[in-house]
Amino acid sequence: MLEVPYPTYETKMRTKPTTYRLFNRFPSRSLPLPFLGKMAAIVIFLMMIPSITLGEDDVKFRRESRFREAINRPLTANGERAKLRDYLRRLSGTREVSVLLDRRIDPNQRINIAIAAETFDEGIHQLVNQVGVDVTITGDTLIVGPPETIRNLRTRIEISRETLNDIEDLSPKQQFVLLRRYEVHWEDLTTPQEILTQVSNRYQINIENLDAVPHDLWAAGTIAYPNLVEALTVVLTQFQLSFEWVSQKRIRIIPEIPQVAIERTHRPKGMTLDEAILVVKREFPRLKVTQKGRQFTFSGRIEDHESVAVLIGERPPRRQASSTQQTTQLRDRRFTLKMVRKPFGSLMATLQSQGIEVRYDAQALKESGADLAQKISLELKQATIDQLLNESCQKVGLTYEINGNVIILKVESTQ
């Protein structure tokens, strides 16, 4: 059994005493009918069984452009000291943004309410930083946890997502399905094993050593619209665990690698390569930059690569100035790519990995004969999303609709 490096605060809920008190309120000897006394206790006990939901309906928290709009708004608050979890829940409900507290953080510790931030996530950072905790954004959720976990979380997710390309015989359709997003919600007293089981069932994969996750009891929480990789990583990292693929339909839980990094190549814009390298070394002296032709590479966290890309003019800042820009972002993007007999589904999976959601009715596609595995060839330079989709969808007999940052694939209508 793998060791649990941190104590948990949820197991203080004391399941056995609670259950004992529950049944003790219905002592059979105190009722005219002993059977009815016992049945009443059982009925109420069953009503307390935690539930977990994964789905796209009954949206509670903001997602995509509405999520970005919510976290881009300023956050100002002042008040009396409050319990950490209680106040995070209050802010989460008011802003309609999912905020998940790591199991290792004491939810009852008191915090000072004094926030003046330009954005919601920066306000949460100011709030939790006073107790030595940090925050990051994963999908459409703010994750609050130990600094070392938060520092590496997005990089761990990206590394695990890239391993999908290494799974033997994984079809484009299967990869596409694994990257679809669903809200994951659970009630009080749910175990992490139950959450992982529900997630794995939703994506039709098996976890061969689920008992590697220690028993624990979690307070109610929501991961707003993660894909499979994000959902598994957010749950497992709270036990310093990760996962690896055994086959197309099976994963194995493994210990988490302490340090993670990803190598990326960068090409500066508006400055020479030497100037760009000097700027990067001055701002990020710990990064080991290697020159390769007109580009340079380094290994680091996702956040390091994003910061460097902005610093050398390679990409604009991730945070847009207004919600209007956010909702039209997909229309404004340009795509340069070359595909030679690659599955159409691989193209859609690539778009999903870049933060673009792709939806489709699987049954309608099946009935129409459209095949996501159909191989296509494309060569585009600085193409709009409409140019990319017009050319690719036409090759497989599909049409599309764009709604904000979401692509909806449809069966091509016939007269």
What mean pLDDT, rounded, does the chain reach?
Answer: 83
Sign of CA dihedral 153, 154, 160, 163: negative
Q: What are the helix and strand counts (H, E) for the chain? A: 16, 19
**pLDDT tens digits, residue range 122-150?**
999 999 999 999 999 998 999 999 999 99
Angle at CA of residue 235, ends 232 and 238, nearest 5°: 135
pTM score over 0.75: no
CATH 3.40.50.2300, applies to 262-311: no
Cβ contacts of 142 within 8 Å, gap of 6 or more: 71, 97, 98, 99, 100, 120, 121, 124, 135, 136
Is the model's pLDDT at 347 over the cut of 90?
A: no
Looking at per-residue pLDDT, the higher value among 321 and 299 belongs to: 299
**pLDDT tens digits, residue range 200-237?**
999 999 999 999 999 999 999 999 999 999 999 999 99
Nearest-angstrom CA–CA distance, 291 and 377: 32
Is the model's pLDDT at 270 over the cut of 60?
A: yes
Indicate the pLDDT class of residue 54, thresholds 50, 70 and 90.
Answer: low
Predicted confidence at residue 51, as pLDDT, reads 53
Residue 407's nearest CA partner among 359, 370, 365, 372 is 359
CATH 3.55.50.30, applies to 328-411: yes
Sign of CA dihedral 233, 236, 237, 243: negative
DSSP-assigned states of every residue in 242-295: EEEEEETTEEEEEEPPS---EEEEE--SSS-HHHHHHHHHHH-TTS--EEETTE
Predicted confidence at residue 173, as pLDDT, reads 82
Q: Domain residues of the chain, as ranges?
A: 1-257, 262-311, 328-411
Q: Do domains 262-311 and 328-411 have the same CATH topology?
A: no
**Ranges 23-32, 34-43, 240-249, most confident:** 240-249
Is the model's pLDDT at 57 over the cut of 50?
A: no
Predicted confidence at residue 202, as pLDDT, reads 94
